[in-house]
Amino acid sequence: AQKITQTQPGMFVQEKEAVTLDCTYDTSDPSYGLFWYKQPSSGEMIFLIYQGSYDQQNATEGRYSLNFQKARKSANLVISASQLGDSAMYFCAMRASGATNKLIFGTGTLLAVQP
Partner 1 sequence: AAGVIQSPRHLIKEKRETATLKCYPIPRHDTVYWYQQGPGQDPQFLISFYEKMQSDKGSIPDRFSAQQFSDYHSELNMSSLELGDSALYFCASSLEGQGFNSPLHFGNGTRLTVT
Question: Considering the rule CB under 8 A, would residue 28 count as an interface residue with partner 1?
Answer: no
State how far Cα 98 lies from the chain centre.
Answer: 21
Helix (H, G, I), strand (E, B) or coil at 85: helix
* Residue 48 Cα distances to 1, 28, 34, 51, angstroms: 25, 25, 11, 11
Q: How far is the CB of 64 from partner 1 (least distance, A)?
A: 13
The H-or-E segment that residue 15 falls in is: none
Q: Which of residues 55-114 bind partner 1 (CB under 8 A)?
A: 91, 95-97, 100-108
Angle at 46 between CA 82 and CA 12, to 5 degrees: 30
- Maximum Cα–Cα distance across the chain: 46
- Confirm or reject binding of residue 33 to partner 1 (CB under 8 A): yes
Of 13, 23, 37, 82, the one binding partner 1 by CB under 8 A: 37
Kindly state the smallest distance separating residue 94's Cβ from partner 1, in Å. 9
Pick one of 44, 56, 71, 115: the residue that binds partner 1 (CB under 8 A): 44
- For position 43 contacting partner 1 by CB under 8 A, the verdict is yes
* 41 DSSP assignment: T
Tell me the site size for partner 1, rule CB under 8 A.
25
Rule CB under 8 A: which residues touch partner 1? 31-33, 35, 37, 43-47, 50, 52, 91, 95-97, 100-108
